[in-house]
Every structure is written in C-alpha cells, then in structure tokens.
Amino acid sequence: MERLRLTDDGFATLYSPEFNQHYHSVRGAMDETQRVYIELGLWAKMQEKTEIHILEIGFGTGLNALVTLLEAQKNNLIIHHTTLEPFPISDTDITLLNYEDELKTDLLQALHQTKWEETVEINPHFFLTKKQISLQDFNTDNRFDLVYFDAFAPVSQPELWTEEIFRKIADLTIEGGFLTTYCSKSDVRRALQGAGFKVEKHQGMRGKREVVRAIKY
Ligand SMILES: C[S@@+](CC[C@H](N)C(=O)[O-])C[C@H]1O[C@@H](n2cnc3c(N)ncnc32)[C@H](O)[C@@H]1O
C-alpha cells in the first residue's frame, strides 16, 4: 500500500503498515475531522465556554490540531490542545501532506516543529502540548473539556477501545465534558457507557452513517 493517499474530499492521508490502517477515513479526511471533532466537539463546547482544554488521542498528521487552531482564530477562542503520539510521523511524511495548500495556511509546519513535552504558544488562540507517549502510560493532573478520541480502529487497536481505557479518560474529563469519535460500534458504545459516559449517536459524514459524542456525567 502507498504511504500517501488522496481521500475523496481532496485531503491527503497516510497509510500505516504497522497498524494496517489509514490515518483518516479514505472517503474524506477533512470531512471526518470537520464532522466528528469540530462540529460535534469544538462547536458544541464553544457554546458553553471560550477557553477550552482539549485532549487528543493520536496527533498523527496534525490535521485535527490544525483545523482546531484555525477554528480558534475564527471564533476568538483560547484552546489548550494536549495531544498524545507515541509514534510521530517523519519529516518526509509531513512534506507529503497537502493541508497547508488546501486550508491556505502555513501553520502545519509550526505544529510539527514545536518541541515535544513542552507547552508552546503557537498564537494567542492556541497553546499546543505534544506528548510522545501512549494513552496507556499518560498521566496528568489537568482535566479536559473535550477529548478527540482518534486512535486507529478497534480492529487494529482493540486495547484502546475498552471500558478500562474509557474509565481513565472519564477521570481526565470534567463533568459535562465531551468525548467524540468516529467509531460507533455497539461494543465501543457499551464500553463508554460502562465508563460513565452518556452516549449519543449522531449523523456521520460520507462513508460513515453514524458517529459518537459521549458526555461525561
Ligand atoms: C487514526 S490516526 C490519528 C490521526 C490524527 N488525529 C490526525 O489528525 O492525523 C491514530 C493515531 O494514534 C496514534 N497512536 C497509536 N497508538 C497510540 C496509543 N497507544 N496512544 C496514543 N496514540 C496512539 C497513531 O500513531 C496515530 O497517529
């Protein structure tokens, strides 16, 4: 399989041979980011507050983070974006991505070039903390308003879609906080419920009938 693939909405994605998965839906990388993480997550949360703490599981290509940064500027938000990535992509991979052209920005490079393990002010709207660590090993005293749960699919990473892992995330999420994800499989929804989330199914995007927003109660 080629490392680079152009998805149906014109945005690039990468293929991971280790996980035998693409980093995004091949039916539309940007459609997925926009629907799951921005519309169901960020836009819903910004109705309540303008300073928002986000935890992302899987920094990957940086597309979710980049679109979040652009939304923060557009909507005059302050975002504290913490993102976990045990397997950062290479500099060569970064040059393959067409997000700066598609989104008319030069900020993807900045997101990738910031140091790991430090909080960096990208601009007054977006503070980025990249952590080169797995979710299983991650610990913090911080609490989050919104979790972008963007691990590879359960078929390749079953260990990340368990009630135990979701309980860990519930503990890191404030009451009323959201977790959004592209996966709406019934055992994933059951695991979220068992971990203390109220699970909502929402209309998905091209190639995905339903996606999930879970609310910590
Ligand atoms: C579906 S891709 C996410 C794409 C990313 N959000 C983006 O916008 O490109 C899954 C990501 O999770 C990362 N990952 C794999 N195992 C992980 C773990 N145990 N904890 C956190 N992230 C993990 C992968 O390396 C990959 O970058």
Q: Is the CB of 86 under 6 A from ligand 1?
A: yes
Do 82 and 144 touch, CB atoms closer than 8 A? yes
Q: Measured between alpha carbons, how far is 145 from 56 in angstroms, rounded to an integer?
A: 11
Q: Is the CB of 88 under 6 A from ligand 1?
A: no
Distance 59 CA to ligand 1 centre (A): 6
The letter for the amino acid at 102 is E
Do 19 and 157 touch, CB atoms closer than 8 A? yes
> What is the best residue among 16, 57, 172 to mutate for testing ligand 1's pocket, by most ligand atoms within 8 Å of CB?
57
Amino acid 121: pLDDT: 98
Amino acid 182: pLDDT: 98
Band of pLDDT at residue 44, cut at 50, 70 and 90: very high
Distance 137 CA to ligand 1 centre (A): 14
Q: What number of CA atoms fall less than 13 Å from residue 70's CA on the CB side?
A: 17
Closest residue (by CA) to atom 22 of ligand 1?
58
The stretch 86-102 carries a mean pLDDT of 98
What are the structural domains of the chain? Answer: 28-216 (3.40.50.150)
Closest residue (by CA) to atom 20 of ligand 1?
134
Band of pLDDT at residue 12, cut at 50, 70 and 90: very high
Amino acid 138: pLDDT: 98
Q: Measured between alpha carbons, how far is 50 from 74 in angstroms, rounded to an integer?
A: 12
DSSP 136: G
Question: What are the tens digits of pLDDT across the range 66-76?
Answer: 999 999 999 99
Question: What are the tens digits of pLDDT across the range 145-174?
Answer: 999 999 999 999 999 999 999 999 999 999
The H or E element that residue 92 is part of is: helix 91-96
Band of pLDDT at residue 193, cut at 50, 70 and 90: very high
Closest residue (by CA) to atom 24 of ligand 1?
58
Whether pTM > 0.85 for this model: the answer is yes
Q: Which atom of ligand 1 is nearest to the CA of 157?
A: 16
Q: Measured between alpha carbons, how far is 174 from 154 in angstroms, rounded to an integer?
A: 25
CA distances in angstroms from 73 to 31, 39, 45, 173, listed in the order given: 20, 16, 15, 24
The stretch 2-31 carries a mean pLDDT of 98
**Averaged confidence pLDDT in the chain:** 98
With a pLDDT cut of 90, the percent of the chain lying above it is: 100
The stretch 32-57 carries a mean pLDDT of 98
Amino acid 37: pLDDT: 99
Q: What's the token pair of residue 131?
A: 């952590």
Distance 153 CA to ligand 1 centre (A): 10
Distance 154 CA to ligand 1 centre (A): 12
Q: Is the CB of 57 under 6 A from ligand 1?
A: yes
The contacts of residue 6 (CB under 8 Å, 6+ apart) are 12, 98
